Amino acid sequence: MPSRIVLFDLDGTLTDSQAGIVASFRHALGSFGLDADAAAIRRWIGPPLVDGLAALGVPAGELDAAVAVYRAYFSTTGLYENRLYDGVDGLLRRLGDAGVTMGVATSKLTPFARRITEHFGIAARFRVVAGGSVDGRRVRKEDVVAHALERLGAPDASTVALVGDRGDDMRAAGAHGLAGIGVTWGYGTPQELADAGAAHLVSSPDELAALLLPSVSPRRRG
């Protein structure tokens, strides 16, 4: 299924950010006398931050304050407790060499997403890095994807694929008529991705390259 444009989620798709996000959640929860284990927090890596904090016990009236505490910690410490998944750099290089236009569409704030892509030396590979807005007007994944598509000149949906690891990503793809590709190395499960409408599931960056560029064969494991 060759696509001329590919939008990537960030957390759980391009980068393994679990350590920094879990630490940031715990820091924010602790400021309200709350705690959660890593498994409970992991379920909220990807969806909007405010949803995760609410689900983990922060009262509705304290959510804005909890978000501020989380972001203060994340911006200085949690953001860098992160790594590129093995094979992602090569995947981006192969897609770029084939002339594919790439972008990032993440629920994470746009300034954080830009800093992360710059930190890992991949920022130049993306035509657009679209994330949540600081003013809170753009939070949901559907809105982030709409913003990314607008910045790309409103391309024909049939030319665009959205790659992500959570159901929110697949639902956003469906909302905009894009091909949703679920990656199983992230934080969602294959069942979650399938239930949310994923058109394809892939288990490695090599499999993703082979799907997006049919002339590319997956590398042998050995």
Residues that are catalytic: 9
DSSP state of 177: T
Q: Answer whether 47's CB lies under 8 Å from 53's CB.
A: no
For 191, residues 6+ apart whose C-beta sits below 8 A from its C-beta are none
Strands (E), the chain: 5-8, 15-16, 83-84, 101-109, 128-132, 160-164, 179-183, 200-202
The helix/strand/coil state of 67 is helix
What is the DSSP annotation of 119-172?
A: HTT-GGG-SEEEEE-TTSS--SHHHHHHHHHHHTT---GGGEEEEESSHHHHHH
